[in-house]
Amino acid sequence: MLATDRLVHEQQFHDAQAAERAGRFADLASLRFRDADYLDHESWIRSAFDMLGDVSGKRVLDYGCGHGMAGVVLARRGAVVTGIDVSKGYIEEARRRATANEVAAEFLQADAEMLPFPDHSFDAIWGSAILHHLDIQRAGREIKRLLKPGGTVVFCEPWRGNPVLDFARRYLPYPGKHRTADEQPLSVLDLEHLHGMFPSVKVHGYQFLGMGMRAIRRQAKANGWFDRMDRRIFRVCPGLENWSRYVVIRVQSE
């Protein structure tokens, strides 16, 4: 499939999502939120955010910003935030969310694999559930180009290491199963591409037992029993992180 076709499909899918959300967020009051509402909505988000370090005064790219909640939290922490997304609808929501929460952040519609910024524009890059929609090599080269020396990148991505989960993703219905035609969870090969581009790539798994919360239609909390058990299991047997539902990837530039 041509990259342009994939881009069009992704844009159409996420514009449709944004249009569906627009009715729920029609007024500015509905777009206001606390940092914890975003940081604790999944068990990996808060710890992943902490991997960015102190972002005060730094230029941070929210790569695939979607609804803009991450960008708002980054701005509250003092970052100079730029968010990009392929979806015009999501960019509109992100801009309204920044206004509703009284923070300064720039959001613009753009292709994540070919961005309109000069080399070394950003001290840090944040992305949540974005890489697995992209060509990892094209995206990796663009991220490397944009990152300043010594900069940090943190991505939170669905992982493909668990064959049982892979079967469920392909064939079984479950709550929150919304996928584009072209997206694929990240794989070992994708990590190899990143290792070939960056001197430091560290990966942490999340939700081994915790993914069961989705199967029984309950919301997994960051401090929930399943997540505490996962942390203990990974300390004893780190190899089981490969069977996680999600991974957090921290990349460091030279």
Which one-letter DSSP state was computed for residue 108? E
Rounded CA-CA distance 47/249 in Å is: 11
Rounded CA-CA distance 85/152 in Å is: 20
Which one-letter DSSP state was computed for residue 186? B
Rg (CA), the chain: 18
Rounded CA-CA distance 75/53 in Å is: 14
Whether residue 185 is predicted with pLDDT greater than 80 in this model: the reply is yes
pLDDT in tens, 101-140: 999 999 999 999 999 999 999 999 999 999 999 999 999 9
Other C-beta atoms within 10 Å of 134: how many? 26
Tokens of 126: 């944040």
Domains for the chain: give ranges and CATH numbers: 3-161+179-206+246-252 (3.40.50.150)
Rounded CA-CA distance 205/92 in Å is: 32
* Interstrand relation of 246-252 and 147-158 (parallel, antiparallel or unpaired): antiparallel
Whether residue 188 is predicted with pLDDT greater than 80 in this model: the reply is yes
Q: What is the DSSP track for 212-245?
A: HHHHTT-PPPTTSHHHHHHHHHHHH-GGGGGG-S
Residue found under tokens 């070939």: 196
* pLDDT score for 220: 45
- Average pLDDT of the chain to the nearest whole number: 90
Whether residue 78 is predicted with pLDDT greater than 80 in this model: the reply is yes
Full-model pTM: 0.91
3-state secondary structure 111-171: ECCECCCCCCCEEEEEEECCHHHCCHHHHHHHHHHHEEEEEEEEEEEEECCCHHHHHHHHH
Residue 71 identity (one-letter amino acid): G
Of 44, 41, 48, which is closest to residue 246 (Cα–Cα)? 44
